[in-house]
């Protein structure tokens, strides 16, 4: 039965939550386990719908994956298949990263095209052209990709744009190539560096991640390891926006401000007091926020597209108007229509959205359009008068282990309910 999230706004937040491991690190790392012979233990792995989908993909390939508490142990020794079914591919758009790992592990991969998604078209041309440059033969046929690479050879690959997924896919394939691969104009996101650290913990030789040139010395035999992924910077950004919206005083244990500098700078400009120490980030916010200078999403270290919706939600009751410019995805303002139901004043023209603060928001029935758009509805609901009923929360479950639990821990009035229970 599908579930709703019921949120009653108007309470300031207070308390502490522990920030989960990063979804966008754990997903490529789970694909990377295909390269390791022996057990990989992912410590404190977040239980997300996308992680579940990755686990199902691994099992469908013949690998063993099991939970022990919060740790996920993967052993890919038994892998006996090099194809991923269309159903599994469709469950998670980022499943494309299995391609590079499968090519490195078994020299072939058959899977369906991940296709478009709720953020607009999601092409993988950069992944495919890079893999071809390493020597893979790729046939695209009726939505399916048939990839063969009896031998991959390291070389220099220049990405047309710094795609996170393409950088990661090529790093994985390059581990199985002979010689050295250098990826230029690589994505610099911290999750790319986390993947490098994981691969090196398994015995790979990868360097440069975090800069725009990543080098991989291929052909090494990788072993298992125990690894803890970095804290989820977008979950941390979400809770910082939550307290900015509702007001209050919270502590995010484990959050790393150096990964979040553009988000914390924007929230400080809006009037929040944000501090960090070696254990996490604290935020104190009182009263209405101020509008801020234009927010332009950009590849890291620019403002993350994944934090655009939650920051927008935090500013709905600000004094003044803030301009947003979305430069990464074509269709990333789908939350705007839902926020408008709660009384928000947002005008969209192409890639630009202008948010003019209103005095008051009100609860309403709203629907998640995508993962971060869904989180934005929660952020807005915390500042709204009355109850907000959020449906289609399966989108939120893709990236937050339990957002209702975390918000409740912070003092919010938030709970999940079955859709039916709510009707009666
Ligand atoms: C990753 C993140 C996602 C985040 C995004 C941008 C994961 C699992 N997901 O997605 O949360 O929003 O980075 O920070 O890590 N592009 C092409 N051709 C390609 C690949 C990408 O044109 O072959 C374009 C995309 O359409 C988009 C831009 O490049 O406009 C950035 O996409 P990319 O960095 O690849 O995002 P993902 O890896 O899919």
Mutate to test the pocket of ligand 1, among 133, 164, 333 (most ligand atoms within 8 A of CB): 164
Cα 180 to ligand 1 centre (Å): 25
Are 381 and 359 found together in one domain?
Answer: yes
Cβ–ligand 1 distance for 386 under 6 Å, the answer no
Tokens 């900015």, located at residue: 244
Domain residues for the domain of 379 are: 3-20+231-423
Are 65 and 194 found together in one domain?
Answer: yes
Q: Can you give the pLDDT at residue 424?
A: 45
Q: Which helix (H) or strand (E) holds 216?
A: strand 213-217
Mutate to test the pocket of ligand 1, among 96, 165, 306, 376 (most ligand atoms within 8 A of CB): 165
Residue 95 CB neighbour total at 10 angstroms: 21
How many folded domains does the chain comprise? 2
Q: How many residues are present in the chain?
A: 424
Are 218 and 236 found together in one domain?
Answer: no
Residues 36, 223 contacting (CB under 8 angstroms): yes
Are 213 and 236 found together in one domain?
Answer: no
Are 175 and 28 found together in one domain?
Answer: yes
Are 16 and 100 found together in one domain?
Answer: no
Are 294 and 387 found together in one domain?
Answer: yes
Residues 120, 93 contacting (CB under 8 angstroms): no
Cβ–ligand 1 distance for 24 under 6 Å, the answer yes
Cβ–ligand 1 distance for 329 under 6 Å, the answer yes
Minimum-distance ligand 1 atom for the alpha carbon of 304: 14
Tokens for 200, please give them.
Answer: 């090196």
Nearest to 8 by CA among 363, 418, 351: 363
Give the whole-angstrom CA distance, residue 134 versus residue 131.
5
Residues 420, 2 contacting (CB under 8 angstroms): no
- Burial status of residue 168 (CB atoms within 10 A of its CB: 0-12, 13-18, 19 or more): buried
How far is Cα of residue 149 from the mean position of the Cα atoms in its chain? Answer: 29
Cα 90 to ligand 1 centre (Å): 16
Give the whole-angstrom CA distance, residue 335 versus residue 298.
19
Among 201, 228, 255, identify where a domain stops: 228
Mutate to test the pocket of ligand 1, among 328, 373, 374, 399 (most ligand atoms within 8 A of CB): 328
Dihedrals phi, psi of 161, to nearest 5 degrees: -140, 155
Are 105 and 223 found together in one domain?
Answer: yes
Minimum-distance ligand 1 atom for the alpha carbon of 234: 11
Are 353 and 398 found together in one domain?
Answer: yes
Are 294 and 355 found together in one domain?
Answer: yes
Minimum-distance ligand 1 atom for the alpha carbon of 129: 23
Which residue in the list 63, 106, 117, 394 is annotated as catalytic? 117
Minimum-distance ligand 1 atom for the alpha carbon of 191: 15
Cβ–ligand 1 distance for 27 under 6 Å, the answer yes
CA atoms within 13 A on the CB side of 174: 28
Are 54 and 7 found together in one domain?
Answer: no
Distance in Å from the first CA to the final CA of the chain? 14
Among 228, 251, 282, identify where a domain stops: 228
Cβ–ligand 1 distance for 163 under 6 Å, the answer yes
Angle at CA 362, nearest 5°, toward 357 and 364?
A: 125
How far is Cα of residue 72 from the mean position of the Cα atoms in its chain? Answer: 19
Cβ–ligand 1 distance for 126 under 6 Å, the answer yes
| CATH at 381 | 3.65.10.10
- Residue 308 CB contacts under 8 Å (≥ 6 apart), including other chains: 295, 297, 324, 326, 332, 372
Minimum-distance ligand 1 atom for the alpha carbon of 50: 8
Give the whole-angstrom CA distance, residue 227 versus residue 209.
17
Alpha helices in 303-392 (DSSP H): 308-314, 335-341, 371-381
117 is catalytic: yes
Nearest to 380 by CA among 404, 394, 397, 362: 362
Classify each residue of 352-378 as buried b or exposed e, where b means 16 or more C-beta atoms within 10 Å of its C-beta. Answer: ebebbbeeebebbebbbbbbbbbbbbb
Among 183, 201, 228, identify where a domain stops: 228
Q: Classify 13 as helix, strand or coil.
A: strand
Cα 222 to ligand 1 centre (Å): 27
Give the whole-angstrom CA distance, residue 222 versus residue 203.
5
How confident is the prediction along the chain (424 residues), in pLDDT tens digits per residue? Answer: 789 999 999 999 999 999 999 999 999 999 999 999 999 999 999 999 999 999 999 999 999 999 999 999 999 999 999 999 988 888 887 889 999 999 999 999 999 887 555 666 678 999 999 999 999 999 988 888 999 999 999 999 999 999 999 999 999 999 999 999 999 999 999 999 999 999 999 999 999 999 999 999 999 999 999 999 999 999 999 999 999 999 999 999 999 999 999 999 999 999 999 999 999 999 999 999 999 999 999 999 999 999 999 999 999 999 999 999 999 998 899 999 999 999 999 999 999 999 999 999 999 999 999 999 999 999 999 999 999 999 999 999 999 999 999 999 999 999 999 987 655 4
- The helix-helix angle for 190-201 and 164-175 (nearest 10°) equals 10
Are 361 and 414 found together in one domain?
Answer: yes
Beta bridge partners of 273: 284
Beta bridge partners of 372: none
Task: Write the residue with the smallest CA distance to atom 7 of ligand 1.
Answer: 24
């Amino acid at each position: 039965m599908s579930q709703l999230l019921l949120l009653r706004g108007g309470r300031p937040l207070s308390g502490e939550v522990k920030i989960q491991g990063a979804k966008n690190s754990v997903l490529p790392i789970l694909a990377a386990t295909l390269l390791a012979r022996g057990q990989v233990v992912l410590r404190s792995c977040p239980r997300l719908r996308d992680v579940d989908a990755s686990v199902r993909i691994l099992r469908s390939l013949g690998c063993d994956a099991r939970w022990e508490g919060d740790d996920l142990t993967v052993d890919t020794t038994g892998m006996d298949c090099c194809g991923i079914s269309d159903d599994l591919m469709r469950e998670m758009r980022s499943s494309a990263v299995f391609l590079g790992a499968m090519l490195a592990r078994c020299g072939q991969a058959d899977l369906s095209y991940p296709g478009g998604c709720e953020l607009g078209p999601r092409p993988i041309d950069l992944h495919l052209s890079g893999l071809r440059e390493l020597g893979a033969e790729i046939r695209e046929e009726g939505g399916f990709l048939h990839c063969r690479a009896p031998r991959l050879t390291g070389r220099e690959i220049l990405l047309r744009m710094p795609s996170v997924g393409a950088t990661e896919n090529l790093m994985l394939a390059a581990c199985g190539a002979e010689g050295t691969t250098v990826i230029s104009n690589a994505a610099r996101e911290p999750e790319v560096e986390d993947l490098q650290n994981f691969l090196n913990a398994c015995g790979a030789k990868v360097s440069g991640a975090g800069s725009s040139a990543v080098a991989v010395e291929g052909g090494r035999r990788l072993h298992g390891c125990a690894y803890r992924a970095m804290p989820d910077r977008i979950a941390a950004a979400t809770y910082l926006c939550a307290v900015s919206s509702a007001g209050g005083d919270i502590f995010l244990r484990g959050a790393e401000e150096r990964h979040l500098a553009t988000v914390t700078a924007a929230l400080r400009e809006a009037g929040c007091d944000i501090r960090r120490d070696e254990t996490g980030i604290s935020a104190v916010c009182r009263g209405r926020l101020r509008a801020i200078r234009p927010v332009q999403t950009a590849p890291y270290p620019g403002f993350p597209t994944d934090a655009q919706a939650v920051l927008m939600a935090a500013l709905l009751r600000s004094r003044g108007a803030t301009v947003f410019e979305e430069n990464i995805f074509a269709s990333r303002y789908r939350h705007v229509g839902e926020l408008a139901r709660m009384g928000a004043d947002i005008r969209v023209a192409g890639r630009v959205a202008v948010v003019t603060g209103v005095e008051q928001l009100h609860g309403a029935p709203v629907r998640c359009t995508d993962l971060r758009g869904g989180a934005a509805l929660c952020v807005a609901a915390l500042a709204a008068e009355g109850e907000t009923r959020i449906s289609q929360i399966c989108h939120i479950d893709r990236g937050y282990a339990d957002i209702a639990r975390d918000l409740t821990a912070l003092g919010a009035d938030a709970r999940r309910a079955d859709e039916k229970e709510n009707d009666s």
